[in-house]
Amino acid sequence: MAVMRVLVERDHALAAAFDAPSAPCIGGDVGSLLHGGNTGVTVSAINEADLSRVDGVIDFSAPGATMQLLPLAVALGKPLVVGTTGFSLDQRRRFDEAARSIPLLVSPNMSVGVNLLFRLTEMAARVLGEDFDVEVFEAHHRFKKDAPSGTARRLIEVVKGSSGHLAAAGETYDRSGIVGERASNEIGVQVMRGGDIVGEHTVYFVGMGERVELTHRAASRDILARGAVRALEYIAGRKPGLYSMFDVLGI
């Protein structure tokens, strides 16, 4: 719903809307989801006929639905923005293949602020180096199915890619009992689930005598929608390739 609101706010028209075949909104007008009048756009299961009418696609769904959508977008040559998380390694390889045919942007988080967090984490990991231990914390609403979040996983990847001594670091997801001293070649990961938390991520760089904390807190899912629409505006009309939010933001 947030994506649809932002599309309208930015003077775009919604040409199709998809949901799971069992969703209660299937067959209804999109306007009912926005508590407005009829739009003439019916919510349907993913299908080629409706997809052929759009100029680009934004996907916030589930990995299985995304994998159903992906080959249709390729076949029809439609730019695709994917904000879904929880993909397997094999599914992520399919993005690489699809990007040979269409402009494709895949990001675990479409927020402008979170993508700045990715960049700041990269800088901190490179500058602070092995004198600082790294821990990642994330919190989301009680209905989120994957853990840790795709954003947290991306933060871990950023740390490993930017801090040489942690390139092959293990990830510690639980500390209980007598676990011994903390190892230098590990990244601690902690997850909280509860209530209606939209999203919170913190990367801790903990040294002897000082600590650096990089935190992003989301108060509304609209930030994800705004980033996703901005991403689609960016890749529309561009040549095939795998793009990132860094490309969109120029950072």
User: What residues act catalytically?
Assistant: 140, 144
Phi, psi of 97 (to 5 degrees): -65, -45
Residue 215, judged by CB atoms within 10 A of its CB (0-12, 13-18, 19+), counts as exposed
- What lies within 8 Å, CB to CB, of 203 at 6+ separation is 117, 121, 124, 134, 135, 136, 155, 159, 213, 214, 215
Spatial distance between the Cα atoms of 49 and 41, rounded to a whole number of angstroms: 13
How many Cβ atoms from other residues are within 10 Å of residue 171's Cβ?
A: 13
- What lies within 8 Å, CB to CB, of 55 at 6+ separation is 15, 78, 79, 236
Nearest to 111 by CA among 231, 24, 250: 231
Spatial distance between the Cα atoms of 174 and 177, rounded to a whole number of angstroms: 10
CB 150 within 8 A of CB 86: yes
Spatial distance between the Cα atoms of 120 and 114, rounded to a whole number of angstroms: 10
User: Position 163: which residue type?
Assistant: S
